[in-house]
DNA sequence: GATTTATGTCAGTCATGTTGACTTTTTTCA
DNA sequence: TGAAAAAAGTCAACATGACTGACATAAATC
C-alpha cells in the first residue's frame, strides 16, 4: 500500500481516539460526499421560487413546517428548526408581514401564538414540495422498485436516535385540525 | 376527503404550473422532511471537532476536499464548493496560516497554487471522515444488507444530471500523485 | 508584445445565525 | 391571592459565511 492511498482512505490502523479498540472502522467517504452533493442540489431547488419574493432558505423552512403543522406553536417550531427565538423572529415577521403566515392567540392558552399558513402561504409551500418531489420521484424512478422504502429507512437511520420518535411523529401525524379559518 | 388533508398533502388537482398536464404528481413530503433531518444531524457531527480549533463548517468542507484531492488547484475547489473566490480566500488563508493546508506553485504552470493537506490537516480530515462514517455505518447496519448500494444509487440519482459525471469522477478517482512532500 | 488565465485582495453588503438582557401577558400553583 | 413560571416578543451587538464589484500581479499563450 502506497502513501497515496492513505490520503484517500483513512485506513484502518489508527482509531480516531474515541472508541474502544474493536474492529478497524470502515470509511464511507464515498457516501459522505454523495450525501453532500445530493443535499446541495436538493435544497437548491427552491431557490428559484424563493428569489422573486426576496425570501431565503430560512423562509422556506419556516413556511414549510407551518404549512405542515397548522396551528403550531412558536416553541414547537423553534424545537424543530433548532434556531433561536431571535433568528426565527425576523423570518417569521417577514412571512407574517407579507401575508404568508398568520399568527393567532391560542383559544385555550392565550399566551400562545398559533401559526397558520394563509392561502397564499399554502400555495407557496405547495410549490416547494412539488419541486422537491419531482427531484425525488425522478431519482426513485431511476433506482429499483424498492428504492423508496430503502431511502426512507436509510434516512431515518441517519437521524440521531433520540430524535427519531419526535421526527417520525412530526412527519407522519395526521394534520392538526384546521383553524376557524379567518 | 376533508380540507384538513388538503393541507397535509398538496393533492393532485392543481399542477404547479411548470409542466405539461400529464399524470398528477405525487408528493414526497415525507422523504423531503427525512432528508432535512438526516442531513442536519449528519453535518452536525463535525461541529464538536471543529469548535476547539475555532473553525466552522466552511473549514470542514475545504479541508475535506483538499485532503481528498491533494494537489488540487484553487479553481477546481471553487467549482466543487460553488462559492466565490473571495469566500474561499478567507477560509483557505486561515487553514494555511494555522498549518492545515499548504499551497505550492505548480511545477508545470507556475501561476497555479496547488493545495495540499499537511500532516496535521490529514489528521483532522481523517477525524471528520471517521465521525461521519460511524453514523453511516450504524445507519446501514440497521437497514438490510443491500442498504449501502441502495443508498449510493439514491444519492447519485438525487444529484443534478449534468453534474453527475463530474461528481462521480471526483468521488471515485484514484488519488492524484503525492506532491514532492515538503 | 498583447491578451488571457490563475490567483489574490480591498471594500462593502447581505442572510442567517448567535448571546444576553429585558418586557409583557397569561397561566399555574403553593 | 400572590408569587413563580411559561410563552412570546424585542433591543442591541456580534459572528459566520456567503455575495458583488473593482482591481493587482504573475505567468502562460498566441
Residue A89 burial (CB count, 10 A): 12
DSSP character string of B119-139:
HHHHHHHHHHHHHHHHHHHHH
- pLDDT digit string, tens, across residues A85-97: 999 999 999 999 9
Rounded to whole angstroms, the Cα distance separating B102 from B128 reads 19
Of A28, A61, A156, the CB nearest to B137: A28
A143/B154 touch (CB, cutoff 8 Å), yes or no: yes
Give the Cα-Cα-Cα angle B176, B178, B180 (nearest 5 degrees). 140
Rounded to whole angstroms, the Cα distance separating A28 from B35 reads 18
DSSP character string of A63-86:
HHHHHHSTTEEHHHHHHHHT--HH
Question: CA–CA distance from A119 to each of A63, A133, B32 (Å)?
Answer: 12, 21, 22
Burial of B173 (C-beta count, 10 Å sphere; 0-12/13-18/19+): exposed
Shortest distance, CA B136 to any CA of chain A (angstroms)? 7
DSSP character string of B52-86:
GGT--HHHHHHHHHHHHSTTEEHHHHHHHHT--HH
Strand, helix or coil for residue A123: helix
| Backbone φ and ψ of B73, nearest 5° | -85, 160
| Chain A residues in contact with B171 (beta carbon < 8 A) | 30, 33-34
Residues in chain B: 182
Of A4, A127, A146, the CB nearest to B16: A127
Question: CA–CA distance from B67 to each of A151, A174, B44 (Å)?
Answer: 29, 46, 20
Instruction: Report residue A19 as a C-alpha cell.
Output: 472508541
| Backbone φ and ψ of A159, nearest 5° | -85, 145
- 10-residue mean pLDDT profile of chain B (182 residues): values are 33 48 85 97 95 95 97 96 97 97 96 97 97 97 95 97 94 57 38
Q: Is A87's CB less than 7 Å from nucleic acid strand D?
A: no
Strand, helix or coil for residue A94: helix
Q: How far is the CA of A95 from the C1' of C27 (A)?
A: 28
Q: For residue B70, give the nearest of B135, B118, B36 by alpha carbon.
A: B118
In this prediction, residue B60 carries a pLDDT of 98
Residues in chain A: 182
Shortest distance, CA B109 to any CA of chain A (angstroms)? 23
Pairing of strands B113-117, A72-73: unpaired
Instruction: Report residue A1 as a C-alpha cell.
Output: 500500500
A11: which residues sit within 8 A by CB, 6+ positions away?
A: A1, A5, A27
- pLDDT digit string, tens, across residues A6-43: 333 444 444 445 545 667 789 999 999 999 999 999 99
- The full set of domains in chain B, from first to last, is 46-143 (1.10.10.10)
| Chain A residues in contact with B26 (beta carbon < 8 A) | 133, 137
In this prediction, residue B181 carries a pLDDT of 40
Shortest-distance nucleotide from A96 CA to C1': D9
In this prediction, residue B18 carries a pLDDT of 52
| Chain B residues in contact with A12 (beta carbon < 8 A) | none
**Is the CB of residue B95 less than 8 Å from the CB of residue B121?**
yes
Q: Is A59's CB less than 7 Å from nucleic acid strand C?
A: yes
Instruction: Report residue A177 as a C-alpha cell.
Output: 385540525
Q: How far is the CA of B25 from the C1' of D5 (A)?
A: 48
Residues lower than pLDDT 70 in chain A: 1-22, 174-182
Amino acid at each position: 500500500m502506497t502513501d497515496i492511498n492513505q490520503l484517500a482512505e483513512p485506513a484502518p490502523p489508527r482509531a480516531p481516539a474515541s472508541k474502544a479498540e474493536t474492529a478497524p472502522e470502515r470509511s464511507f467517504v464515498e457516501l459522505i460526499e454523495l450525501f453532500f452533493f445530493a443535499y446541495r442540489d436538493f435544497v437548491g431547488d427552491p431557490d428559484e421560487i424563493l428569489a422573486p419574493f426576496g425570501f431565503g432558505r430560512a423562509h422556506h423552512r419556516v413556511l414549510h413546517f407551518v404549512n405542515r403543522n397548522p396551528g403550531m406553536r412558536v416553541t414547537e417550531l423553534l424545537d424543530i428548526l433548532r434556531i433561536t427565538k431571535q433568528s426565527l423572529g425576523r423570518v417569521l415577521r417577514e412571512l407574517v408581514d407579507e401575508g404568508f403566515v398568520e399568527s393567532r392567540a391560542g383559544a385555550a392558552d392565550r399566551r400562545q401564538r398559533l401559526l397558520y399558513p394563509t392561502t397564499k402561504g399554502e400555495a407557496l409551500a405547495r410549490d416547494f414540495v412539488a419541486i422537491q418531489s419531482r427531484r425525488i420521484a425522478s431519482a426513485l424512478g431511476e433506482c429499483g422498485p424498492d428504492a423508496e422504502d430503502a431511502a426512507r429507512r436509510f434516512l431515518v437511520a441517519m437521524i440521531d436516535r433520540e430524535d427519531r420518535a419526535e421526527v417520525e411523529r412530526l412527519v407522519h401525524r395526521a394534520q392538526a385540525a384546521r383553524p376557524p379559518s379567518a
